[in-house]
Structure 1
Amino acid sequence: MQKAELLTIIEKMSPKEKVDQLLQLSADFYTDDAEDRTGPMETLDINETTIANAGTILGVSGAEKAMGIQKNYIENNSHKIPTMFMADIIHGFRTIFPIPLALGCTWSKEAVEEMASISALESSVSGLHLTFSPMLDLVRDPRWGRVMESTGEDPYLNSEFAKAMVTGYQGDDLKEDMSKVAACVKHFAAYGGAIGGRDYNTVDVSETTLREKYLPSYQAAIDAGAKLVMTAFNTIEGIPASGNKKLFRDVLRDEFNFKGPVISDWAAIKEMINHGVAADEKEAARLAIEAGVDIEMMTTCYDKHLLELIDEDPKYMDLLDEAVLRILELKNDLGLFENPYRGADPVKEKEVILSASHRESARKIAEKSMVLLENNGILPLSQETAIALVGPKATTGDLMGAWSWQGKFDEVVTIAKGLSAKGKNVTVASVESDLFENTTESLEEAKQLAKENEVVVLALGEADWMSGEAASRSDIRLPQSQIDLFNEVRAIAKKVIVVLINGRPLDLTAISEADGILEAWFPGTEGGNAVANILFGDVNPSGRLSMSFPENVGQVPVYYNTENTGRPYESAPDEKYVSKYLDVSNYAKYPFGYGLSFAKVAYEGIALNKETIDSSDETVEVTVTLHNQSEETTIETVQLYVRDLVGKTARPLKELKGFTQVALAGNERKEITLSLAVKDLAYVHPDLTWSVDPGEFHIMVGPNSRELDLVKTLVLK
């Protein structure tokens, strides 16, 4: 359908029909039982006509149900406009992949794109058209529960994953490829900067920081073609995102050239009343439509008050028409006018959902995402080793994380199943441990098993509800009962390996005496098999942290790309009057980019193909030699960082500007080259423009953000 045809439809629509296109309602309103709709209808004070014409629907799943709703919708719509089904498919539909923070730890764009592609296929055959993903909020504070939805603390890495996810979800042509779904960029903007790590809280960042650290990943996804943008819950400069004209008109539309619709987060337009910037729903509707928010999710400020605003000032009709056009253009991009049942296929749904190939992909990606934090030589384990598996995460299917909407516990491979299938001498504790309380029976059995076996694998961590939305925590240690369990077992056991299931970086001081620590995150449907393959050495761990782990919560936020101070700690670490704590290091316990493997890889030599350059249009080739000094085959993630020694504003001590993953056979030596585009050395100047300054830059290469012993100086004239 051409734009002119869409405009013709809009011309024929009544003002109320246009307003209805801006409303998104949840699946509760589309049940077969009218009585079940009564409560939701009373809550929002809407009638059946509004429900029948609401432009988009949230949270419907199942091909037959989606097709039935679409059929009724079109039959009752006088202009035969199809509805559009959206949902939170964050890291898998029914086949659940590792949480996004774990996906970030793969450092693999290919793995992330594959996850998105499989998620799109399972979603589309089930009747969905759009996913509220990727979440691209840069995160620095592990107290915030939603760090589990982000790929980490670095703008460059997040931007690379943003492009990969959009490509995986959307493919090349949404209208032609029914196995794909539209992607939604969220949350615009800087939701991850919530003060105190408390969800929905105020964000207070300078515009320089906003533009340099937070906005790049959103823009990368938009440049990759993402079709929808969601507003954040927070304020920026005191203005809630859903009413922030500067963010959405000036930055998103004018600067980023985004042409698609904008959707509020759940009830975010009405919440402007709570923020204190709108006196009532009418004022909230005015602020949102002027800011350019096209779809109102689950409140009815538009439904009740837009027509009133139009009566008072005709300019609001123009804004309404703009919003309707953007919504219809998205439906058209999806091919819904020609094929309103696009993708939905009850037969194919049974074939592809949780298929063997999807499970295999989930397992392999889970293996790539796990980070080996500690290993005193205990890993990998022999299949002959006598192993006891205990702990509250040993036998549970709670390995998927907070956003596994369609995932099912009984379809998850537990850690107990994974280890028992791989090891020949694995004993699983018969008394199930609780996350928050040790019974006498569970403790006694754990200690007895510790005496009887060569190795104890302790499966510890969080429940799925302990991270994610509305799951902020001021204490990011393991629950005390789990620490007690560790101490009791550690006092008896010959060797103790901790497997962590969690959705955020934790303070791991209390278990630092473990012989091995594997950060498995919430690994998804195939989590148990992935854990077993790493512990027994079938897979050499290659995950690297995409978010730093603090020594303790008092350091938070702690992140690698900090700026220097006037009294830097490194200049005189034993002096008092430098920037430091008296009781803990300045540094993360496990820094960004960190992760161990079963191999030992040495970095030998660094060279630049040119050490002096004349133009910011040039590219510099950075060459290093890797030497695998072990017999183990491994994947090494080589990381390239830069430091601008003198800038117009204080520059970070290091910034990631490139990475590559290299396969190394045992004892292999390999020369690798990374490309650094000089334009990527640009930063935001005091006048808010991006540019590169002449001067000296340190070019650093290493296995993580702390171990950067290979350094060369690049001079830009």
Structure 2
Amino acid sequence: MPSSRLSRRSAIHALGLATAWSISPLRAGLAAAATRDTPDFIDALVARMTLEEKAGQLTLMASAWGGDRAAGLNPPGGLSDFDKQIEDAVAGRLTGVFNGNGAAMALRLQSAVMERSRLKIPLIFAADVIHGHRTIFPIPVGEVASFEPELAQRTARAAAFEAAGAGIDWTFAPMVDIARDQRWGRAMEGAGEDVLLGRLFAAARVRGFQGDNLAADDAMMACAKHFAAYGAAEAGLDYSTADLSERTLREIYLPPFHAAFAAGCGTTMASFNEIAGVPSTANHWLLTDLLRGEWHFPGVVVSDYTGDMELIAHGVARDGRDAARLAFLAGVDMSMESDLYRLHLPGLVRDGHVPEAAVDRSVRRVLAMKAMVGLFDNPLRRIDPAREAARSRRPETMALAREAARKSIVMVRNQGGVLPLPRASRIALIGPFAAGPHDIIGGWSVYGDDAQGVDLATGLRAAGGHVTVVAGCAIDAPLPGGIAEAVAAARAADVVMLTVGESQDWSGEAQSRAEITVPQAQQQLAEAVAATGKPIVVVLKNGRALALSGAVRNAAAILVTWQLGSESGHAIAEVVYGDHGPQGRLPVSFPYESGQEPYHYDHKTTGRPQPPGPLQPYKAHYHDLPDAALFAFGHGLTYGKITYADLTMDRTTMPWDGTITVSARLTNHGARAAQEVAQLYIHDRVASITRPVRELKAFAKVALAAGETREVRFTLRRADLLFIGLGLTPTVEPGQFDVWIAPSAQDDGVHGTFELLQT
């Protein structure tokens, strides 16, 4: 087939990724640091530094005086070491700390450095502000279910407002890894399985964290992580190998990073995993040839937590000195937590193994980053204990948390219209997540507090509900008499709300699961309660897609509520009682069984695809399962009744430099208003590289009153048809394309075809 290749730069512009980055003041400042065209004061500082002080500027450590939950997430050492850490900072052995204990901690450290250090270079304070600071928003994958990038920008802006008020200059977020295996625990931190959503939410979160002015006291530097393909870990096992083609890397796993950089993200974090036998922390091709050479990224690359030290266990470094050499020469500017740069870089330079000019370049990048966030102008810019308290959990931020939680809820089943519930309903609220200050805020929250969150029982009662609460079982163990008590409560109620799923500690880093199912104790509880015959509404607590079975899968209604953060209970109650309709859509595919993983909607057909209908022999399917999802990517129900009809195109052929507009009519036949998410998918029928069965190219939220019909319209351009071709360059080929406007990746919706013409 004839083809026309675009340059990478042209393709990036076509995708709308390069313009913002090319004009970003942040990019200009960091680029200047990379080329020695830096402000005079930075060059003067570098000229005055000893090798030991330069290595110190490239060394980041966990705060010895950490936040309440920080020690459990990343153990930093005891509080008794804080005085030693102050002395390290004063001596120039430290560029900054992360996950510290707020403004009071930062004030002591920064004041000591500015009063007593030789060069008076301010420290930078970093933290894992993943989905909120003190006010906790839904976990990232849950928030992506809103299909509203603008919402993610607002929650990131609010998180920056709170966190910067506590002295934090830099957040290790957003995580932009594509996650196609739901066994991987860190799926909860990203945007799901789709590249378009990954790109849009990466850019939105960067804009939110960084604001309009990085030097403002309500902005933080963002860090796109983990570079790269961390989400492709074999078997969904955290830290494991990612062995994938360069085409897959470029087409699936790299675009969200490029989107983040296009939005102005000034830092990135090297990933733990290896790619094709080379750990990312030691991967010169990835961190230098691609990131610096091809993409011209001028910002700071930081290792993940002890990532450079782990090169020894990977088997590519002999010892700590060798690991420091490999990581630094590969392109890692800053070492996190291992202390290897401080210990070994000076000697490596003196022995001729690392050029001092390269060290100077990395130091200039770090100093430029500190200048960008305003630290040289005012080292105490964000450090004010009174402001920290004043910004925490303000009413408008809590209202945003409730809005975000509400919009993240996905109703995947509602047989017989059991939802919404009348407020007069007698509810038996059963399950380990029904009540209590636990499993509310979600995983990877350093500064959040379950005790300040709203549980489901509290939310329902505050909304006027009549609720009897019975735990029935623990998260992964039975309780004496628990099932009998739950069955009795169910028999006395009009409806059962069954809260089942995962503890928030079961998702996140190092939380891979071989079986992504509801734990046995909870499943047994569900079966016993279902035997009463009472209608069941499952309220699923999850940090990933789960493989549901039995009474849970067959419940009258299922709400996927993720881990919704501070306002969880209020948000769920508003949806359950119909004050707001559900409007979330799944950003991940829910499989029939764990054994289907990795599963993603945009898979290839294979040469022996299973046709519609009964399973056929010698076709691509499991012996006992269809090659499909139980609940598809993009699926989500409303309290309306939406139909799709009358796909129209303004033309059936797309000129090479033209467009084609595709539209459909959406009608709400229900009695309630609804927010429908119309999704545009394409399929390239014949190409030089096999193409997915569907690819999401656009979506739109459409508000439909009861009985209302509205037209939804999308415009496709040649750039929307790009793929990575035979030469590993962005390619567009003429030919026929299928197009759908549909409510999910597995729904036919309305369908048509068009042809791209080459002129």
Q: TM-score, normalised by structure 2?
A: 0.91
Question: 1:526 — aligned with what?
Answer: 567
Q: Does 1:415 align with 2:453?
A: no
What secondary structure is seen at the aligned counterpart in 1 of 2:214? coil
Q: Kindly indicate whether the alpha-carbon contact (under 8 Å) linking 1:29 and 1:41 is maintained by their aligned counterparts in 2.
A: no
Matched-pair identity in %: 38
Q: CA deviation at 1:374?
A: 1.1
SS of alignment partner, residue 663 of structure 2: strand
Structure-2 change in CA distance of 1:374 and 1:30 (3 Å): closer
Aligned AA for 1:14? Answer: T
Select 2:297's aligned residue among 255, 258, 278. Answer: 258
Residue 521 of structure 2 corresponds to 481
* Aligned match of 1:236: 275
Among 671, 688, 708, the alignment partner of 1:668 is 708
Alignment gaps of 5+ in structure 2: 1-28, 30-37, 68-75
1:551-590 matches, cutoff 5 A: 551-570=592-611, 573-590=614-631
2:509 maps to 1:469: yes
Structure 1 residues 580 and 35, CA gap change in structure 2 (3 angstroms): closer
- Tell me the residue number matched to 2:393: 354
Distance 2:80 2:315 in 1: 31
* CA pair 49-698 structure 1, distance change in 2 beyond 3 A: closer
Q: Does residue 500 of the first structure (1) align with residue 553 of the second (2)?
A: no
2: CA distance, partners of 1:29 / 1:531:
36
Shift of 1:151: 0.9
Distance in structure 2 (CA, Å) of the matches to 1:583 and 1:160: 37
Native 8 Å contact 2:88 2:94 kept in 1 = no
Q: Which secondary structure does the structure 2 equivalent of 1:165 belong to?
A: helix
Q: 1:337 aligns with which of 364, 368, 376?
A: 376
Residue 582 of structure 1 and its aligned partner are, at CA, apart by 0.7
Please give the per-residue CA displacement for 1:482-535, whole angstroms capped at 9, x wherever unaligned.
011111111114211110111111111131221111110001000001111111
Q: Distance in 2 between matches of 1:205 and 1:51?
A: 44
Q: Which residue of 2 aligns with 1:28?
A: 64
Distance 2:134 2:376 in 1: 28
The aligned counterpart of 1:683 is 723
* Structure 2 residue 252 is the aligned partner of structure 1 residue 213: yes
Aligned to 1:301: 340
CA distance in 1, matches of 2:615, 2:625: 13
Compare 519-528 and 249-258 and name the one that shifted more: 249-258
Taking the aligned partners of 1:342 and 1:326, their CA distance within structure 2 comes to 20
Structure 1, 450-459 or 440-449: larger mean CA deviation = 440-449
Residue equivalent to 1:167 = 207
Are 2:582 and 1:546 aligned?
no
SS at match of 2:595: helix
1:650 Cα deviation from its structure 2 partner: 0.3
The structural deviation recorded for 1:50 is 7.8
How far apart are 1:318 and its partner, in Å? 1.1
Report deviation, 1:708: 2.5
1:186 to 225, 249, 256: 225
Distance of aligned partners of 1:645 and 1:36 in 2 relative to their CA distance in 1, 3 Å threshold: closer
User: Which of 643, 656, 663 is the matching residue for 1:602?
Assistant: 643
Q: Secondary structure in 1 aligned to 2:443? A: coil
Q: Does residue 593 in structure 1 map to residue 593 in structure 2?
A: no
Aligned counterparts of 1:590 and 1:314: Cα–Cα separation in 2: 54
Q: Which amino acid aligns with 2:581?
A: N
Partner SS, residue 325 of structure 1: helix
**Per the alignment, do residues 706 and 49 of structure 1 end up closer, same or farther by CA in structure 2, a change over 3 Å counting?**
closer
How far did 1:41 drift? 11
CA distance in structure 1 between the aligned counterparts of 2:268 and 2:527, rounded to whole angstroms: 47
Are the aligned partners of 2:641 and 2:668 in contact in 1 as well (CA < 8 Å)? yes
Match of 1:197 in 2: 236
Instruction: Go from structure 1 to structure 2 and tell me whether the alpha carbon gap of 1:691 and 1:552 turns closer, same or farther (over 3 Å shift).
Output: same
Q: Find the aligned partners of 1:483 and 1:636 in 2 and give their Cα distance.
A: 32
Q: How many Å apart are 1:51 and its aligned residue?
A: 6.8
Q: In 2, Cα distance between the equivalents of 1:618 and 1:298?
A: 52
Counterpart pick for 2:752 among 702, 706, 712: 712
Q: Which residue of 2 aligns with 1:16?
A: 52
Q: Which amino acid aligns with 1:20?
A: G
Aligned length: 710
Question: Is the 1:52–1:76 Cα contact (8 Å) retained in structure 2?
Answer: no
Segments of 5+ residues of structure 1 without an aligned counterpart are none
Would you say the 8 A contact 1:454–1:493 is kept in 2? no
Paired residue for 2:665?
Answer: 625
Alpha-carbon distance between aligned partners in 1 of 2:756 and 2:136, rounded to the nearest angstrom: 47
Counterpart of 1:654 in structure 2 is 694
Question: Where do residues 353-372 of structure 1 align in structure 2 (5 Å cutoff)?
Answer: 353-372=392-411
Report the Cα distance in structure 1 between the residues aligned to 2:581 and 2:376, rounded to whole angstroms. Answer: 49
Q: 1:41 to 1:683 in 2, by over 3 A?
A: farther
Distance 2:515 2:182 in 1: 10
- Partner-residue secondary structure (3-state), 1:435: coil
How far apart, in 2, do the equivalents of 1:90 and 1:156 lie?
Answer: 20
The answer as to whether partners of 1:22 and 1:54 remain within 8 angstroms in 2 is: yes
CA RMSD of aligned residues (A): 2.0
